Amino acid sequence: MSKEVEKKEEDFFFKCPSCKKGVVKISKSIYDLPDEDKMLILKFECDKCNFHNNDIIPLTTRIDPGIMVLKVSSEEDLRSKIYRSPTAKLEIPELELIVEPGPNADFYFTNIEGVLFKFENAVSIYRKNLENNDSQIEEIEDILKNMQKARKGQFPFTLKITDPEGGSYIIPVNNSKYTFEKR
Ligand SMILES: [Zn+2]
């Protein structure tokens, strides 16, 4: 394995999705590899049940504070990975979707497809709870249709992460569709 040169650890917490009682701690460590690549290790551990998970992510992108923008226009782009730190805001303006900063565990680490899937779930639940004569129905159904297209790469959209503290990142499948603006 690689030699650990730099280790920066920050902890985050959220309610356990498995037992709903415990608190899951996320530890984030960054390792510098000898070939100058960086690697991020995320550890998820519940203090009450057995829920745990590890993610090892090659870091090819910066983790400085800033605004990350990825243009998504193909099925391939949906496999781009993202990590939204709890201090960051995640947006898809074309679909009117926003995750405000905060410990919304569903949106910590996933790929673009995962983001769409979770949004679609949330919007479907919202739709089901509307009365039949609600004036929002048409708009919500349009958003749902566009989300379904987006999940097949047939609805181009922009995914934007605004992170004033740093730590969030996007690992694009296609680098030419990604921009980072340092804050
Ligand atoms: Zn648990």
> What is the CA(26)–ligand 1 centre distance, in A?
13
Q: Is the pTM of this model over 0.85?
A: no
pLDDT of residue 72: 97
Average pLDDT of the residues of the chain: 84
pLDDT surpasses 90 at 2 = no
Domain ranges of the chain: 10-59, 66-182
Report residue 131 CA to chain centroid gap.
31
> What is the CA(102)–ligand 1 centre distance, in A?
20
pLDDT surpasses 50 at 6 = no
**Which CATH superfamily does the domain covering 10-59 fall into?**
ZPR1, zinc finger domain (2.20.25.420)
> What is the CA(114)–ligand 1 centre distance, in A?
22
Question: 56 near 41, Cβ under 8 Å?
Answer: yes
pLDDT surpasses 70 at 142 = yes
Question: 88 near 165, Cβ under 8 Å?
Answer: yes
The domain made up of 66-182 has a fold known as Jelly Rolls (2.60.120)
> What is the CA(29)–ligand 1 centre distance, in A?
22
Dihedral, CA of residue 42, residue 18, residue 25 and residue 82, to nearest 10: 40
pLDDT digits (tens, 9 = 90+) for 74-92: 999 998 988 888 889 999 9
> What is the CA(141)–ligand 1 centre distance, in A?
35
Question: 151 near 113, Cβ under 8 Å?
Answer: yes
pLDDT digits (tens, 9 = 90+) for 21-62: 998 888 888 777 666 667 778 888 899 998 888 777 767 655
CA distance linking residue 45 with residue 52, whole number of Å: 4
CA distance linking residue 44 with residue 145, whole number of Å: 34
